[in-house]
Amino acid sequence: MTALAYDIIVIGAGHAGCEAASAAARMGSRTLLLTMDMVKIADMSCNPAIGGVAKGQIIREIDALGGQTGRIADLTSVQFRMLNRSKGAAMWSPRAQCDKRAFSAEWRRTLENTVNLYIWQDTASEIVFTEHDGRCRVRGVKTRMGVEFECKAVVLTAGTFLSGLMHCGEAHADGGRAGDGASYGITEQLKAVGFEAARMKTGTPARLDARTINFEEMEPQYGDENPSKFSFDPDIEPVKDQLPCFLVHTSEEVHAILRSGFDRSPLFNGTIKGIGPRYCPSIEDKLRTFADRDSHQLFLEPEGRSTNEYYLNGFSSSLPYEVQLEALHKIRGMEDLHIYRPGYAIEYDYFPPTQLHHSLATKLIDNLYFAGQVNGTTGYEEAAAQGLMAGINAHRQLRGEEPVVLQRDEAYIGVLIDDLVTKGVDEPYRMFTSRAEYRILLRQDNADMRLTPKGYELGLISERRHRIFAEKKSLVESLISFTRRQSIRIGEIDDYLKSIGSEPMTQGRRIYDIILRSDVTISALRRELPKLDRFISDNEISDEMIEAAEIEIKYHGYIEREKFIAQKLHRLENIAIPDGFDFNSMQSLTIEARQKLSRIRPTTIGQASRIPGVSPADVNVLLVKFGR
Report d(CA 524, CA 530) in Å as an integer.
Answer: 12
Q: Where are the beta strands (DSSP E) in 425-477?
A: none
Nearest in space to 416 (alpha carbons), one of 434, 435, 392: 435
Residue 21 and residue 118 in contact, taking contact as beta carbons nearer than 8 Å? no
382 pLDDT band, cuts 50/70/90, is: very high
pLDDT at residue 628, as a whole number: 59
pTM: 0.93
> pLDDT-based confidence at 159, cuts 50/70/90?
very high
What tens digit of pLDDT does each residue of 507-536 get? Answer: 999 999 999 998 999 999 999 999 999 999
CA-to-CA distance for 444 and 448, rounded, in angstroms? 9
DSSP code of residue 91: G
Give pLDDT, residue 568: 80
Q: What are phi and psi of 124, to 5 degrees?
A: -70, 130
The answer on pLDDT for 1 being more than 60 is no
DSSP 82: E
Task: Please say whether the beta carbons of 401 and 458 come within 8 A.
Answer: no
Q: What is the mean pLDDT of residues 306-316?
A: 96
Nearest to 547 by CA among 265, 138, 232, 192: 232
Distance CA 91, CA 82 (A): 10
Asked if pLDDT for residue 59 goes beyond 90, the answer is yes
Check residue 171 and give its pLDDT: 87
Q: What is the mean pLDDT of residues 461-484?
A: 97
- Decide if 349 contacts 198 (C-beta within 8 A): yes
Nearest to 101 by CA among 39, 36, 178, 37: 39
Instruction: Tell me the mean pLDDT in the region 597-624.
Output: 87
Is pLDDT at 24 greater than 80 in this prediction? yes
Number of Cβ within 10 Å of residue 479's Cβ equals 24
pLDDT attached to residue 146: 94
- What pLDDT score was predicted for residue 279? 63
Is pLDDT at 32 greater than 70 in this prediction?
Answer: yes
Angstrom distance (rounded) from CA 297 to CA 363: 43
**pLDDT band of 359, cuts 50, 70, 90:** very high
CA 533 to chain centre: 38
What is the spatial order of strands in the sheet that 135-143 belongs to? 124-132, 135-143, 148-150
Beta strand residue intervals within 389-521, DSSP E: 487-488, 509-510
The more confidently predicted of residues 148 and 566 is: 148
Decide if 380 contacts 202 (C-beta within 8 A): no
Examine the pLDDT at 559 and tell me if it is beyond 70. yes
Instruction: Provide the mean pLDDT of the chain.
Output: 93
Write the CA distances from 486 to 81, 517, 549, integer angstroms.
35, 17, 15
* Cβ(9)–Cβ(151) below 8 Å: yes
Q: With pLDDT > 90 as the criterion, what percentage of the chain qualifies? A: 78
- For residue 177, pLDDT beyond 80: yes
Q: What number is the average pLDDT over the span 56-68? A: 98
Name residue 155's beta-bridge partners. 10, 369
Who wins on pLDDT, 591 or 16?
16
One-letter amino acid for residue 17 of the chain: G
On the 0-12 / 13-18 / 19+ scale of CB atoms within 10 A, 380 is buried
CB atoms within 10 A of CB 464: 10
> What residue type is assigned to position 382 of the chain?
E
The pLDDT score that the predictor gives to residue 375 is 97
Confidence of residue 131 (pLDDT cuts 50, 70, 90): confident
**Rounded Cα–Cα distance for residues 160 and 345 (Å):** 11
276 has a pLDDT exceeding 80:
no
User: Is residue 172 over pLDDT 70?
Assistant: yes
